[in-house]
Amino acid sequence: MRATMFAIGVAISAWGLLLWGAFGYPIWLAGIIGLFNIILGAITPKSRKVDLQPEPSGAVKLVVDKVILRLGRLRFTFYELVFLDNKLVMKKLTSMGIIFLATGVSFALGGFFGGLTGWSVWEFLDQRKRDRIRDRNEFTSVARGDMEVPYESMSQVQLDGESLKMVVGGRPLVLRMAPEYPPLIARRVREVIPNQCWSHAWSQFYP
């Protein structure tokens, strides 16, 4: 269960009740939106975030979910990182177009409450994608929207307090992640990415 999504549903229902009493806000609309969030929260499993031993004796050495790859000022994509023996596979999560559509429709129907629901839908769809990757054992495959980066093509790799940085084909690649991730993954990432790929510049997690 996702406690945050569940709490959003409860909060929407409570605020809807208050707004109905004070301003005549349609209580049925707030109730439906709130219940929808509660259901999403109840059926959406908690993300594993970092899996250090997805396949102890297999090719998959580390799975990190989720990170942000910024492609431009207003363009960014969310990925699940899969570290294999010889390459990094970036599994694309839910398309931002779908997220904007879901949020826009929800906002049009329910205003601010609908906007919060858009976030819940996003988390639900992302988790379904993660579960499909795991259930179908698609860690090593590269589907449409995914990326793969052989370790041999990496250089100037750095892991700091909020991102994994590298140069691939002469272009910088910066993968932003939650602050609690780098300390958890530092040792394993150092093990799987060859030593010659790393930058010798100062880095918080460089030994």
Contact 50, 63 (CB under 8 A): yes
The pLDDT, as a whole number, for residue 150 is 96
DSSP single-letter state for residue 55: S
The pLDDT, as a whole number, for residue 12 is 80
User: Which tokens is 34 given?
Assistant: 């709130």
Per-residue pLDDT of the chain (207 residues; tens, 9 = 90+): 778 888 888 888 887 777 777 777 677 777 888 888 899 989 888 777 888 877 666 789 999 988 999 776 667 889 999 999 999 999 999 766 666 666 666 666 556 666 778 778 888 888 898 889 988 989 999 998 999 999 999 999 999 888 999 999 899 999 999 999 999 999 999 999 999 999 876 556 655
Residue 61 preceded by cis peptide, ω within 30? no
Looking at residue 132, its amino acid is R
Which phi and psi (to 5°) does residue 92 adopt?
A: -70, 135
User: Strands (DSSP E) along the chain, which ranges?
Assistant: 50-51, 62-70, 76-83, 87-92, 147-150, 154-159, 163-168, 171-176
The pLDDT, as a whole number, for residue 155 is 94
The pLDDT, as a whole number, for residue 111 is 64
How many helices (H) and strands (E) the chain has is answered by 4, 8
User: Which tokens is 59 given?
Assistant: 């090719």
The pLDDT, as a whole number, for residue 100 is 67
Return the closest-CA partner of residue 122 out of 146, 95, 145, 82: 95
For 79, residues 6+ apart whose C-beta sits below 8 A from its C-beta are: 66, 67, 68, 69, 90, 91, 92, 93, 147, 175
Say what the pTM is.
Answer: 0.79
Looking at residue 89, its amino acid is V
* Residues making up the chain, counted from first to last: 207
Say how many C-beta atoms besides its own lie within 10 A of residue 14's C-beta: 12
Contact 99, 118 (CB under 8 A): yes
Contact 79, 88 (CB under 8 A): no
DSSP single-letter state for residue 148: E
CA distance 83 to 174: 16
